[in-house]
Amino acid sequence: MLNQDLLQQLIKTSSEPKLIEKAFEIANDAHKGQKRFSGEDYIQHPLRVAQTLNEFKLDPKTIAAGILHDVPEDTSVSLKEVEKNFGKEIAFLVDGVSKLGKLRYPKTGLEIPSIKKEPQKSIDLKVENLRKLFFAMSEDLRVVLIKLADRLDNMKTLNFVPKEKQKRIALETLEIFAPLANRLGMGEMKGTLEDMAFPYLYPEEFKWLIENVKERYEEREKYLKMVQPILIKILKEEGITSINVHQRAKHYWSLYQKLLEHDMDFEKNYDLIALRIIVDDVETCYKTLGIIHKHWKPFLGRIKDYIALPKPNGYQSLHTTVFCIDGKITEFQIRTSKMHTEAEEGICAHWARKEEIAFKTQRRKFAWVQQLRNWQKEVSGTKEFLKGLKFDFFKNRIFVFTPKGDVIDLPEGASSVDFAYVVHSEIGDKCAGAKVNGKMVPLSQPLKNGDMVEIIVGKSKKPSQKWLEFTKTNLARSNIKKWLKKESMTSH
C-alpha cells in the first residue's frame, strides 16, 4: 500500500484524525530522502507500524507515536521538538521505543545456538538497556507494543538486509521479542515472529520441515474438512447452534520444537492441525466438551482446562484430544469469541473491546513486569541482573498450582523454594518442606508443569546457603542472599 493510501486509512479510522495527520507531516518531512534497504521511502516503515497498531485497536496517541518512533533516532528532529509538538505522553512513548531500539546483540562474535537445545543467552547484551526496557514496560506497556509492531515490519523486509545483519536480527527476534509477545498473551504475534526468524537461523532444518510437513498438512486438512460438518451436525442436534468452527495449523517453529521432543516423529504430534470451536459463553464451552466426549473417546492425559485455570498470560480455552472418525487422534480447542480474541491479541484485546481501561492498570494483570522492575532496583551488579534475566524472563516457563488452585508462573527447573518465595517472602524464609501432588519431596526437586505444590512452614526454619545451589528465580536468590547477609552481620 502506498503512503497516501495507508495514511488515508489511518486518518479515516481514527478518533483524532488531525493528530495522525500532524504526526505524518512531521515524520514524512524528517525522513525525507531516507531509504530502506529495500529501496522504498523510509516513511513506509513507520506508516506500516502505525497500521499494525491500528489493527490492534490502540489509541490515537500510540498510533501517532508509532509514526514518529524513529524520528529522534534517525533524523535531525529531536525528542524535545516531538514533545513541543505532541506533548509529554507521545514523547515518552517515542523515547521508550528509542531506548528499546538500542537493545541489540553485538555485531561480532555472534553464535547461533544449537536448535537441539534451548537457545542460551550467552551474548553480553548492554544490561543498562535491558533495565530501561523493563522500566519502560512497567511504566507503560504501549512502548513494548510499538516496539513489537516495529520488529514485525522489520522481519517482513529482512530479506533486503545485508546477510551479516540478518542472523543478529533474527536471533534477537527469537530470543527477545517472541518471548515478550508470549508474556503479553499475544499468541499470534509470538508464532509469527518465531516463524519469520526460523529460516534465517536454521535454514536446513526449516527446509526439511517444509518439505516433510506439506503433504501431512494437506492430508490433515482434508480429514478435518470431512470432520467439520459432522461435528457441526452433532452439536446442532444437541442444541448448540451458534458456533464457529475453523482449522488451526500449528506454527512451524512450535511444530519443530514439538518434533524435537518426540524424536522427529510426526505421528506423535496430534495437534498438527486442530479444530477450533468458538461458542457464545463459558457454559456452552463445557457442554460442547461433554458432547465431543460422548461421541468420541477422549485421549487420557490430554484434556486441559485453561478456562477454570487460565495461563498467567491470560490464555483461556478448553483443549481435548480424542479418537475421532476412523480412530484418528484429533485435537479440539473450545472457547468463547472473547477468549479467542484475547488468545490471538493478548493485551491489545482490551482496547479492541473499546473498554475505557487506563493503560497503567494493565500492570495488575501482567504483574511479572512490575516484579522485574522491583527486582532490578535491588540487584547491584549488572552480571547478576543479566544472569537473573536469562533464567526468569527468557527461559521456558512452567505453570504450577497452589492448594487453592492459583496459578504460579515459574522458569523451567524451578524448585519448591522458588515457588515459596513467589507466594510470599516470609513463606520462602520459613520453608521447611514441600508436598508436590500430595507427596513429600526434596526441596531441591525441580517442579513440573501442572504440579500442585504445598509448602510446609516451620517457625524456627531459616534459609540455607544450600538453597542457592538449586534455586532458579532471582526473587528467591536475592531474598536468600539478603537473609544470609543479615544473619552473618548479627552473628559477629
Alpha helices in 238-301 (DSSP H): 252-261, 282-295
Cell of 428: 520462602
Query: Are 69 and 41 contacting, i.e. CB atoms less than 8 angstroms apart?
Result: no
Q: 74 catalytic, yes or no?
A: yes
Q: In 206-265, which ranges are E strands?
A: 244-249
| Strand bridging mode 329-336 / 273-279 | parallel
Alpha helices in 56-123 (DSSP H): 60-68, 71-74, 79-86, 88-101
Cell of 18: 488531525
Q: 150 catalytic, yes or no?
A: no
Exactly one of 21, 74, 384, 412 is catalytic; name it: 74
Query: Are 487 and 461 contacting, i.e. CB atoms less than 8 angstroms apart?
Result: no
Helix (H) or strand (E) holding 332: strand 329-336
Exactly one of 21, 59, 73, 153 is catalytic; name it: 73
DSSP-derived letter for residue 310 is -
Contacts of 32 (CB under 8 A, 6+ apart): none
Task: State residue 49 phi and psi, 5-degree precision.
Answer: -60, -45
Edge-first strand listing for the sheet containing 453-457: 439-441, 431-436, 453-457
Measured CA to CA, the distance from residue 300 to residue 111 in angstroms comes to 41
DSSP-derived letter for residue 455 is E
The rounded Cα 277 to chain-centroid distance in angstroms is: 23
Measured CA to CA, the distance from residue 66 to residue 96 in angstroms comes to 11
Query: Are 340 and 278 contacting, i.e. CB atoms less than 8 angstroms apart?
Result: yes
Active site residues: 73-74
